Amino acid sequence: MFSKRLGIDLGTANSLVYLAGEGVVLNEPTVVAVSLDDNRIVAVGSEAKDMLGRTPGNITATKPMKHGVIADYVITEAMLRYFIHKVVGRNWFFKPEVMICVPAGVTQVERRAVLDATLAAGAKVAYLIEEPLAAAIGAKVPIAQASGNMIVDIGGGSTEVAVVSLGGIVVNKSARVAGNKIDESIAQHIKKRYNLIIGERMSEDVKINIGSAVKTAKESKFEVRGRDTASGLPRMIEVTAQEITEAITPVLMQIVNAVKEVLEQTPPELGADIIDKGIVMSGGTSLLRHFDTLMTKVTGVPCHIAEEPLLCVVKGTGVALENIALYKRSISGK
290 pLDDT above the threshold of 90? yes
- Rounded average pLDDT over 278-292: 93
Confidence of residue 90 (pLDDT cuts 50, 70, 90): low
Helix (H, G, I), strand (E, B) or coil at 179: helix
Instruction: State the Cα–Cα distance between residues 244 and 23, nearest whole angstrom.
Output: 37
Domains and CATH numbers, the chain: 5-133+313-333 (3.30.420.40), 139-177+249-308 (3.30.420.40), 179-247 (3.90.640.10)
- 170-196 pLDDT, tens digit each: 999 998 899 999 999 999 999 999 999
Please give the backbone phi and psi of residue 126, each rounded to the nearest 5 degrees, phi first: -120, 135
CB 87 within 8 A of CB 26: yes
Q: Over pLDDT 90: what percentage of the chain?
A: 56
Identity of the amino acid at 306: A
Of 28-32, 35-39, 209-213, least confident by mean pLDDT is 35-39
Question: pTM for the full model?
Answer: 0.90
The widest CA-to-CA distance across the chain, in whole angstroms, is: 64
pLDDT of residue 188: 96
In this prediction, residue 311 carries a pLDDT of 92
pLDDT of residue 217: 80
Q: Render pLDDT for 48-74 as a digit per residue (tens, 0 to 9).
A: 888 887 888 888 888 888 877 888 888
Contacts of 146 (CB under 8 A, 6+ apart): 165, 166
